[in-house]
Amino acid sequence: MKPISLTQFLIEQQREGRINADLRLLIEVVARACKRISIAVGKGALGGVLGSAGTENVQGETQKKLDVLSNEILLEANAWGGHLAALASEEMDDPHPIPDRYPKGEYLLVFDPLDGSSNIDVNISVGTIFSVLRCPEGVKNPDEKAFLQPGTQQVAAGYAVYGSSTVLVLTLGDGVHQFTLDREQGNFPLTHSRLRIPEDTSEFAINMSNMRHWEPPMRRYIEELLAGKTGPRRRDFNMRWVASMVADVHRILTRGGIFIYPRDLKDPGKPGKLRLMYEANPMAFIVEQAGGAATTGRERILDITPAQLHQRVPVFLGSKNEVERVTGYHLAADRAGEPA
């Protein structure tokens, strides 16, 4: 049987009363923008888009030309449709209002236009991550405060991976679904419904080069994995680290695993590397919807009320039993009053 397309899937969701017409349009527009980003990424050096843009984002990170282009594509695609009240991007200091010449809608869109920037120039998978919130009632001109909602308030989240194929993974709060870009037809057929992350895994993803900066419970957990069959876990574990969060999370969604970007003490003022609103929240929503778990090592990511748009958090997500184990190690160390 021919798979249904993203458009058909969304119409069915609307008929079943799960989404309204505006949210359907929003997802369609984001998917169309991802298709354009996919084309730009796929052109590589031929598109003249590789390399640095010579600018820095709000976090002080050097922007790549493709970071800037992807951000512009998402902004332009979403500004005029009438479905959004405002947008916020990892690449912009402040929320982006909808220009007065366009109608405004009830949703807020938050995105990381191109995740895994350091992999752009070396032909390794990168991606787009997005999250959709409702604009608080009565707010006509949403500022940063309107966006500071816990992840439990997300009405949709998804990501696209620009890899050997382009996939779009989506949750509307009722399971996780995967669509694959058909490059000839230009549409996104549904290729996997109701993805499930196995509860157990023997695969972990972490940047091991930071080990010396980790907190003791974190070191304990990884040391136990590395000890393999002869250690307390009594089995061998394998490591994979693409260094594009989208690609690492996609692998975990496909075959299980645990992804960790812990707090480290290299820069004690920084609670982690990854951004709560652009990366952790949408991925946590997706992972939980697929039966996995997502914590900061201490608390559920989706329960955090953000204090700032660009806030960072430690991230532990994926196969439930591993996330619960390492979270348990952190909580036990805190209870015992172990110094960090």
Residues 241-260 as x/- pattern, contact with ligand FDP by CB under 6 A: --xxx---------------
Residue with tokens 């752009």: 120
Least distance in angstroms from the C-beta of 327 to ligand FDP: 19
- The DSSP string of 17-33 is TSS-HHHHHHHHHHHHH
Helical H segments across the chain, by residue range:
6-15, 21-43, 65-79, 144-147, 216-227, 245-255, 281-289, 320-335
Least distance in angstroms from the C-beta of 230 to ligand FDP: 29
Residue whose CB is less far from ligand FDP, 57 or 327? 57
Residue whose CB is less far from ligand FDP, 74 or 245? 245
Least distance in angstroms from the C-beta of 66 to ligand FDP: 11
Residue whose CB is less far from ligand FDP, 77 or 317? 317
Q: Is residue 115 close enough to count as binding ligand FDP by CB under 6 A?
A: yes
| Footprint on residues 183-222 left by ligand FDP (CB under 6 A) | 207
Out of 13, 38, 78, 117, name the contact with ligand FDP by CB under 6 A.
117
Residue 198 near residue 258, CB atoms below 8 Å: no
Least distance in angstroms from the C-beta of 52 to ligand FDP: 13
| Alpha carbons 178 and 113: distance in angstroms, whole number | 19
Q: Is residue 78 close enough to count as binding ligand FDP by CB under 6 A?
A: no
Least distance in angstroms from the C-beta of 286 to ligand FDP: 15
Q: What are phi and psi of 180, to 5 degrees?
A: -120, 130
| Footprint on residues 129-168 left by ligand FDP (CB under 6 A) | none
Residue whose CB is less far from ligand FDP, 279 or 322? 279
- What distances in angstroms separate CA 233 from CA 225, 255, 292, one per listed residue? 7, 20, 20
Residue 53 buriedness (CB in 10 A; 0-12 / 13-18 / 19+): middle
Strand, coil or helix: what is 12? helix
Residues 271-310 as x/- pattern, contact with ligand FDP by CB under 6 A: --xx----x-------------------------------
**Count of residues engaged in binding ligand FDP, rule: CB under 6 A:** 11
Least distance in angstroms from the C-beta of 281 to ligand FDP: 13
Long-range Cβ contacts of 175-180 (<8 Å, 24+ apart): 175/289, 175/290, 176/253, 176/286, 176/289, 176/290, 177/9, 178/253, 179/5, 179/6, 179/9, 179/31
Helical H segments across 63-138, by residue range:
65-79
Least distance in angstroms from the C-beta of 219 to ligand FDP: 17
The site for ligand FDP (CB under 6 A) is made up of 115-118, 207, 243-245, 273-274, 279
